[in-house]
Amino acid sequence: MAFEFGTASHWRSVLFLTLTCLVLFLPGFFTIPPIDRDEVRFAQATKQMVESGDFVDIRFQDDVRYKKPVGIYWMQAAALKTISALGVPRAQVRIWVYRLPSLIGAIGAVLLTYWTALAFVTRQGAVLAALMMASCVLLGVEARLAKTDAMLLFTVTAAMGAMARVYLSWQRGEDPAHPSWGPPAIFWTALAGGILLKGPLILMFVGLAMVVLAFLDRSVAWFGRMRPVWGLMWLLVLVLPWFVLIFLRAGETFFADSVGGDMLSKLGAQESHGAPPGLYLLLFWITFWPGAPLAAMAAPAVWRARREPGAQFLLAWLIPSWIVFEAVLTKLPHYVLPLYPAIAILTAGALERRVLARSWLLRGSAWWFAIPAAGSVLVIVGAIKAIHQPVFPAWPLFAVAMVFGLVAWRLFEDSRAERSLLNAVVAAALMAAGTYGVVLPRLTTVFPSQEVARALRTVTCVGPKAAAAGFLEPSLVFMTETSTLLTDGSGAADFLSQGACRFALVEQRSERSFVQRAEAIGLRYNAMVRIEGYNISQGKAVSIAIFRSEGTE
């Protein structure tokens, strides 16, 4: 069997998982246009860092962007400078360059899930846990977005994997004369990385797990093996320099915006993302597919084994943070992603012990077929609605995905559950290829900024400058120039009157004010092209006219 061959040794397992990740994550990675709004805000801030040479401050055009620390921007800047040095033309406006840290973080998180799982299960069980992470819908999305979350998952998994090794060693009564520096070094370095990526959030995952373990064991003696004094000093060496520099640059503004304006505001319904408790549990059946059916079957056995050291550690990682996220009003699907490795490892342990539930939960195996079937229909219907085309090249991929999902469901047995999971992973890969690789790149109307930028590249004048009215999405700034002015119709007319080689990108709802102001100042202009599209951020159709000045009367 290919799986047994691929997992026959440690290095074969690592290679097998890496190749699987590439198959799952690369479709669409290079071809899906920039997605508004968060992804483009990160990418544009990084682009400005490289343009200005200022790697301390974080800005989107002239506005400060202090919601997150600097870690992901440095990683994206390193990717941009590397790709530019390799001679890739126009690297600064290729969104896939800024997605590279997310791709690396996602692959790294899968490999770290494997490494962490080795402390709990056999090598094949660890590979199965890693495959659940690699194929899960949520990580597939985050691997393709130039944001913080895939890298945060990487740091959290590294920290918890290192902590697990020390904790389980203590539980086994091992007392080595010279404890290894490896796990503590990984732990504290991962904490520092997580803080630079997303502030103190990583401390919540680690801290809540430690509090629960201390309560259950009535002891924290094991934590002394984590070299806390040296580790804390190392953490401060890594994180303090930038925090000091940004404080000297911006004073208390950064901390007010990141902690008060971003983190604490999530206790309420930030940016209309409020939802009641229980939402993450509902979303889990989609976001953790195809591992979700097995996780449901494993749940009763996991709960019975909750006082065993391994299960106790993983549940301490999972449950308290999950409760916090369910209680907080602001809810976005990716918030719980750092908890998914614990679920994957717990599921792999139950699968390895052959203790999956034999009750009605077994009916959940139909979910392996239901998601490809329903997902295929939704994607095709969405494509027809967006571009009025059925996207036939994706149909064979979706059809074969449904076949593999059906096989996973119909051939499921408790004693051969691995076989069903592997078939479901293949179905996930085919769904990713069809959705991300074929359908999304063809939805040109959903990405009007790309069409606007393409139209501006056809002009013959040197150094074109643009102003946008009505359509003010960050992708427009990223795809054109940092200097692109975001204004209203009147402002676009004034901008157009100020010189040659200027263009006004006016959304239809702003055209009236543009025309009125142009008439008032005697501006002569013509329309180069009109681009019809759909603003996915606002959920409405847009029509953008590109005007060019012909001088004033």
Q: What is the pLDDT of residues 199-208, one digit of tens each?
A: 999 999 999 9
Q: Where are the beta strands (DSSP E) in 286-409?
A: none
Q: Is 552 helix (H, G, I), strand (E, B) or coil?
A: strand
Q: What is the C-alpha to C-alpha distance for residues 46 and 60, in angstroms, rounded to an integer?
A: 9
Q: Enumerate long-range contacts of 74-77, CB under 8 Å, 24 or more apart.
A: 74/196, 75/101, 75/151, 76/42, 76/43, 76/46, 76/100, 76/101, 76/146, 77/46, 77/49, 77/50
Q: Render each residue's pLDDT in the chain as its tens digit; 553 residues.
A: 678 888 999 999 999 999 999 999 999 999 999 999 899 999 999 999 999 999 999 999 999 988 889 999 999 999 999 999 999 999 999 999 999 999 999 999 999 999 999 999 999 999 999 999 999 999 999 999 999 999 999 999 999 999 999 999 999 998 887 888 999 999 999 999 999 999 999 999 999 999 999 999 999 999 999 999 999 999 999 999 999 999 999 888 887 777 665 665 555 545 556 788 999 999 999 999 999 999 999 999 999 999 999 999 999 999 999 999 999 998 999 999 999 999 999 999 999 999 988 775 667 899 999 999 999 999 999 999 888 899 999 999 999 999 999 999 988 876 688 999 999 999 999 999 999 999 999 998 899 999 999 999 888 888 889 999 999 999 999 999 999 999 999 999 999 999 888 999 999 999 999 999 999 999 989 988 999 998 888 788 999 999 998 765 5
DSSP code at position 88: -
- Torsion sign (Cα): 216, 222, 224, 226: negative
Q: What is the C-alpha to C-alpha distance for residues 367 and 375, in angstroms, rounded to an integer?
A: 12
This prediction has a pTM of 0.95
Q: Is 458 helix (H, G, I), strand (E, B) or coil?
A: coil
Do the strands 63-64 and 59-60 form a parallel or antiparallel pair, or are they unpaired? antiparallel
Supply φ then ψ for residue 31, to 5 degrees.
-110, -20
Q: How far is CA 122 from the centre of its chain?
A: 29
Tens-digit pLDDT profile for residues 123-182: 999 999 999 999 999 999 999 999 999 999 999 999 999 999 999 999 999 888 788 899
Beta bridge mates, 274 = 330
